[in-house]
Amino acid sequence: MAGLVAVLTRVSPEEPDEARQEYAYISDLVVLARYRRRGLGRILLEHAEALARKRGATTLRVGVLAKNRIAHGLYQQLGFNDFQVQMVKDL
């Protein structure tokens, strides 16, 4: 295996200030280190989007760590926009 993507195709919004529309969510996207920078992540994301569309989703979300600039850049190239920011403070 070189990589995988897992997609939840029907997620109900839980936040009170979100639109009441279901969305699809990429819960996991993994490409093993030795297979990175070969376009596999892009292919997996394209398949995830196709599945979400097939199941009727009109919105696709994915989470990414702020420090993972490579993944963030890939998501932006594929049309994802920043949606939510979670702040953290060490105590």
**Which range of residues forms the domain containing residue 49?**
3-77
Do the domain assignments include residue 90? no
Which regions in the chain score pLDDT beneath 50?
A: none
Whole-model pTM: value is 0.88
If you ran DSSP here, which 8-state letter would residue 8 be given? E
**CATH code, domain carrying 69:** 3.40.630.30
Asked whether 44 and 5 are in contact (CB, 8 A), the reply is: yes
pLDDT digits (tens, 9 = 90+) for 44-62: 999 999 999 999 999 999 9
Do the domain assignments include residue 30? yes
